[in-house]
Amino acid sequence: MSSDSRSRRRANLALDAANFFLADVRDGLGPYLAVYLLTEQKWDGASIGVAMSIAGFAGIIAQTPAGALVDATRAKRLVMVCAALVVTCASLILPLCTGFWPVAVSQSIGHAAGVIFPPTIAAVSLGVTGHRAFAARVGRNESFNHAGNASAAAIAGGAAYFFGPQAVFYVLGVMTIASLISVLAIPEDAIDHDLARGLHEHRRNPDGVREQPSGLGIVLTCRPLLLFSVCVTLFHLSNAAMLPLVGQKLAQQDKNLGTSMMAACIVAAQIVMVPMAMLVGARADRWGHKRFFLAALLILPVRGALYTLSDNQAWLVGVQLLDGVGAGIFGAILPVIVADLMRNTGRFNVAQGAVITAQSIGAALSTTLAGLVVVNAGYSAAFLALGAIAAVGLAVCWLALPETRAHSGSETERMTRTSPSTAGIAAE
């Protein structure tokens, strides 16, 4: 085995470990935050929603600059290490800062740092494997990510049952240390940083001059990318608040079991996400990227309706399995579709940042919207409203978004290297 092959094999194994351990780090406390604030700090649902939305908007502001940073830097491992430390510190100070604004500010800082992980992991993956193996690598990333989430949630749930909700802070600290070791284990020489931003390393124009990235305008002129961003926004406007709402319903039934039952919901979904991500990695290039995205959108209206049928704990946890189907598909197919549309432009990570900005807008508004509906009309109305939003996204995707897989051929590659305007036309 050549040294290059050994380096890439080490990189793939380290990426597996990084995805596993970063799963519990990249979102900080995530859905546990709502349960912690409700049960330990006695916040109401509306205040929880507003605080989480403020933090979400901080992530929105940082998202596209984060993508530009990932495109520009060759110190991608160091960027992930710094982000992991910031996210962890922002979560660990919560027991010391219990007021509304201290919580909102600390979580805003954590969210702003956490947005660096998705584009950086995707960029490193593309830089290690190239386009041909990218879908399979992303599926593998998501499989280990979900396995890490399930494992961390199971540990957190058990620890919270015996030691109280504060146990999630200790689990986060341990996972952070493991994630730092994993990220630093990725061999630097295995990452092609030009390929990682969507360029070919040896591509040159007819004059023999190495081609440069397309203008940033390509992100605004590629119509399918804009349509995809709209669908992504609607997906997360529907999806982001569902799990926190379920956690609040469970916590109201039994305060002592609230965090443990939330962990059960997360474990149930994450277990299902693993095979879904593997399926996307194995079959997306054959079955079509749009089909998988449509399936992810379709799950949400069904899930929202089912949540209204019963408050039984077992039922709520069971319905949460559907989250594993939808989110598992979505997480694996998003970077693949963006890579389709941005191939050979050199703007893969900026485009990722723009799309995830749209995702963050939807997620941030989701918790506020759901909190207001809960206060005024109850939990069932909130679930139905969120499901209806996803149905709109399903219609937009079905009627307007083209199959992106078909646009990765040589003709599109040639056209996307000419100018931002022709790139948008070619992608259509």
Using CA atoms, how far apart are residues 162 and 254, in angstroms rounded to an integer?
A: 15
Distance CA 387, CA 369 (A): 13
Among all chains, which residue has been given the structure tokens 């380096």?
Answer: 7
Q: Which residue has the tokens 């100018």?
A: 419
373-426 pLDDT tens trace: 988 888 899 999 999 999 999 999 999 998 887 544 433 344 343 333 333 333
What is the pLDDT, as a whole number, of residue 427? 37
Angle formed at CA 64 by CA 60 and CA 70, multiple of 5 degrees? 130
The residue that leads in pLDDT, 230 or 359, is 230
Contact status, residue 160 vs residue 259, Cβ threshold 8 Å: yes
Question: Looking at 22-36, 296-310, 408-422, which range is the least confident one?
Answer: 408-422
Q: Which is more confident, 269 or 186?
A: 186
Instruction: List the chain domain ranges.
Output: 10-196+214-427
Give me 353's structure tokens. 């940042």
Q: What is the pLDDT of residue 359?
A: 86
**What's the chain's average pLDDT?**
83
pTM tops 0.85: no
Q: What are 72's two structure tokens?
A: 């520009």
CA pair distance 199, 304, nearest whole angstrom: 41
Look at residue 392 in the predicted model and tell me its pLDDT.
95
pLDDT per residue over 223-273, tens digit each? 999 999 999 999 999 999 998 888 888 777 766 666 667 767 777 787 888
Question: What is the arithmetic mean of pLDDT over 50-79?
Answer: 88
Measure the N-to-C terminal CA separation of the chain; round to a whole number of Å: 42
HEC profile of 385-416: HHHHHHHHHHHHHHHHCCCHHHHCCHHHHHHH
For 140-165, the pLDDT digits (tens) are 999 998 888 778 877 877 887 787 76
Return the higher-pLDDT residue of 364 and 298: 298
Higher pLDDT, 116 or 163: 116
Tell me the two tokens of residue 85.
Answer: 């430390």
pLDDT reported for residue 12: 94
Written out in words, the top-level CATH class of the domain with range 10-196+214-427 is mainly alpha
SS3 label, residue 210:
strand
Q: pLDDT at position 390, please?
A: 95
User: Which residues are registered as beta bridge partners of 204?
Assistant: 210
